[in-house]
């Protein structure tokens, strides 16, 4: 166990009161805190790695005048990261008990009972909390929950007994039950109060959450040995699965400058502390065809904690956002303290990487923004994720293509690939094979071979090297077919009648 002497108190709002916990060790997960320190065992531990959703809890943060509710995985979230937030677990959502009548249930719980959404019950607290977040974000705002909404909200929860139909039924049934609302004015007032509590002396560095960029960079420069964390959806697994322990943790998620998506005339700047949920929302807003891809990145609780900056900085060769961002021509902005000012440098995203999980960032540098060019007329772009499971799975191969075609000729081609090299990569040879060529089947056939030959992927548990090479070329063929319209390449939407007519024609 690491020294905890200097840990500042952890404070959050729960069950109508501010909770203050001294000496919470920096590596303690929120789930450990709940179950072992607070003896609140309603929240369950299943996988301990963000996959099953049994540990789902809901956090609340002020978003202007509103409360923003997010379902998160408590098993991989460090406890200190919820400092200053509101927290709800499955034990906190039923209306106040009077100890004389049976405990009334929250609509999310009652609907699970009514629809027979629980059998062994192990997954149930997690499902209930995902439903609670959906209830707050939709039902309490007068918005209907569709089947699609329900599926998206429950994308991070697994059940091995019940089957999903009754649980999806419950997600829709809860909106018909008598409304139960959170006293948001009280929560917001307490969140405001929490911001005024002094954060402890500088010497108390075991878990630091600076509020502005200058402070973050100063701490990064003074303590390069501290583990930098954002949403902790990668780092959390190093703690729970690899048993790594950090004496100092530097959390960048409170840095005001890094929490926004900024719109400029030609690009979108996504701050490194913006969650994957919000970052994808901005990308989808500009390019609606990315909606499905955004839902295939992990499940909702992981996207609610994890950041786009963390995905890029972590630099996994099978990370999903990088092939997309490379194809879209994104740049990264790195920042560091320079004397009394802040120095920036900007580079193409693919130039960030120097080898497997290695990058050009200096020990005192931080990835601050990802700048993504906006869509322009005449672009045709797609991103394809190939994984064993359709949802909540890691890519075997990810390919993203962005072509600008004028009068049937490829004017520019930008292609990013994942799962085929030690880093996310740009397919430069294939781009060169396409630019200046007529956009025809013959050009595509040649480029398919170039793409298959361009990389030497490895075989692992996700796919063989041969499969990866083959599928790369096939995805380019699919892109060509989609660019021609009318041909059905999405098997889930395949209409056999239409396909027969197309073949006959």
Positions that interact with ligand FES (CB under 6 A): 45-48, 50-55, 73, 75, 118-124, 159-162
CA–CA gap between residue 287 and residue 394 (Å, rounded):
23
Residue 504 CB partners (closer than 8 Å, separation 6+): none
**Helices 124-137, 165-173: crossing angle, 10 deg rounding:** 30
Q: Return the residue of 30, 128, 229, 425 that touches ligand FAD, per CB under 6 A.
A: 229
Q: Using CB under 6 A as the criterion, what x/- string covers residues 37-56 for binding ligand FAD?
A: ------------xxx-----
Burial label for 158, CB within 10 Å (0-12, 13-18, 19+), is middle
370 binds ligand FAD (CB under 6 A): no
Which residues in 339-408 belong to E strands, given as ranges? 341-348, 353-355, 358-359, 366-373, 379-386, 397-406
Residue 443 belongs to what H/E stretch?
helix 441-454
Question: Residue of minimal CB distance from ligand FAD?
Answer: 310
d(CA 260, CA 394) in angstroms, rounded, equals 27
- Residue 302 interacts with ligand FAD (CB under 6 A)? yes
From the list ligand FAD, ligand FES, none, which binds 70 (C-beta under 5 to 8 Å, kind-based)? none
Query: Toward ligand FAD, which CB reaches closer, 187 or 298?
Result: 298
Q: Which is nearer to ligand FAD, 35 or 296 (CB)?
A: 296
Distance of closest approach, residue 151 Cβ to ligand FES, in angstroms = 16
For residue 352, the partner it binds in ligand FES, ligand FAD, none, with Cβ less than 5 to 8 A by kind, is none
SS3 202: coil
Q: Return the one option of ligand FAD, ligand FES, none that residue 311 interacts with (CB less than 5 to 8 A, by type).
A: ligand FAD
Q: Which residues contact 34 (CB under 8 A, 6 or more apart)?
A: 40, 43, 57, 74, 89
366 is an interface residue for ligand FAD by CB under 6 A: yes
Six token digits for residue 116: 């027979």
Q: Does residue number 276 form part of the binding site for ligand FAD (CB under 6 A)?
A: yes
* Least Cβ distance, residue 76 to ligand FAD (angstroms): 6
User: Residue from 235, 249, 270, 425 that binds ligand FAD (CB under 6 A)?
Assistant: 235
Among the listed residues 53, 60, 166, 310, the single contact to ligand FAD using CB under 6 A: 310
* Shortest Cβ 51–ligand FES spacing (Å): 5
Q: Which is nearer to ligand FES, 55 or 420 (CB)?
A: 55
Site for ligand FAD in 170-189 (CB under 6 A): none
Q: Which residues pair with 417 in a beta bridge?
A: 399, 425
Contact indicator for 396, 419 with CB cutoff of 8 Å? yes
| C-alpha neighbours within 13 Å on the C-beta side of residue 27 | 19
DSSP per residue, 95-119: PPP-SSSPPP--HHHHHHHHTT--S
From candidates 283, 367, 401, 433, binder to ligand FAD by CB under 6 A? 367
Nearer to ligand FAD, 187 or 399 (CB): 399
In DSSP terms, 382 is beta-bridged to 401
**Touching ligand FAD, residues 74-93 (CB under 6 A):** 76
Pairing of strands 425-426, 409-418: antiparallel
Residue at token pair 């699970």: 112
Applying CB under 6 A, which residues contact ligand FAD?
49-51, 76, 228-235, 252, 272, 276, 297-298, 302, 306-307, 309-311, 313-314, 319-321, 366-367, 394
């Amino acid at each position: 166990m690491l020294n905890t002497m200097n840990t500042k108190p952890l404070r959050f709002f729960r069950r109508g009161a501010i909770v203050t916990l001294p000496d919470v060790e920096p590596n303690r997960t929120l789930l450990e805190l709940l179950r072992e320190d607070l003896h609140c065992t309603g929240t369950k531990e299943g996988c301990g790695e963000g996959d099953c959703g049994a540990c789902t809890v809901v956090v609340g943060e002020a978003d202007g005048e509103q409360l923003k509710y997010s379902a998160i995985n408590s098993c991989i979230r460090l406890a200190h990261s919820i400092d200053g937030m509101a927290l709800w677990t499955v034990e906190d959502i039923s209306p106040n008990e009077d100890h004389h009548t049976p405990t009334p249930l929250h609509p999310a719980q009652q609907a699970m009972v009514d629809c027979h959404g629980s059998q062994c019950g192990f997954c149930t607290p997690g499902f209930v909390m995902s439903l609670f977040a959906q209830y707050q974000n939709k039902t309490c705002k007068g918005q209907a929950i569709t089947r699609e909404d329900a599926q998206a909200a429950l994308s991070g929860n697994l059940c091995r007994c019940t089957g999903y139909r009754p649980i999806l039924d419950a997600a829709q049934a809860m909106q018909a039950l008598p409304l139960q609302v959170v006293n948001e004015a009280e929560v917001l007032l307490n969140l405001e109060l929490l911001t005024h509590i002094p954060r402890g002396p500088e010497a108390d560095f075991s878990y630091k959450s600076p509020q502005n960029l200058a402070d973050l960079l100063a701490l990064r420069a003074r303590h390069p040995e501290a583990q930098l964390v954002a949403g902790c959806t990668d780092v959390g697994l190093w703690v729970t699965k690899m048993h790594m322990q950090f004496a100092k943790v530097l959390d960048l998620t409170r840095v005001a400058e890094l929490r926004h998506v900024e719109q400029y005339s030609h690009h979108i700047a996504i701050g490194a502390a913006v969650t994957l949920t919000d970052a994808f929302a901005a990308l989808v807003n500009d390019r609606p065809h990315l909606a499905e891809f955004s839902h295939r990145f992990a499940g909702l609780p992981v996207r609610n904690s994890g950041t786009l900056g963390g995905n890029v900085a972590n630099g996994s060769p099978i990370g999903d956002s990088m092939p997309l961002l490379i194809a879209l021509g994104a740049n990264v902005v790195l920042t560091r303290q320079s004397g009394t000012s802040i120095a920036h440098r900007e580079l193409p995203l693919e130039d960030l990487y120097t080898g497997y999980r290695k990058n050009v960032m200096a020990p005192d540098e931080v990835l601050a923004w990802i700048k993504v060019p906006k869509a322009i007329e005449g672009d045709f772009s797609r991103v394809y994720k190939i994984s064993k499971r359709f949802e909540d799975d890691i890519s075997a191969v990810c390919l993203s293509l962005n072509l600008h075609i004028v009068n049937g000729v490829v004017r520019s081609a930008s292609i990013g690939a994942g799962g085929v090299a030690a880093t996310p990569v740009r397919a430069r040879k294939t781009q060169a094979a396409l630019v200046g060529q007529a956009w025809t089947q013959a050009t595509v056939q040649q480029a398919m071979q170039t793409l298959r030959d361009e990389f030497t992927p490895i075989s692992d548990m996700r796919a063989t090297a041969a499969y990866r090479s083959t599928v790369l070329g096939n995805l380019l063929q699919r892109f060509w077919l989609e660019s021609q319209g009318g041909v059905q390449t999405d098997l889930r939407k395949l209409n056999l009648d239409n396909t027969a007519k197309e073949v006959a024609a």
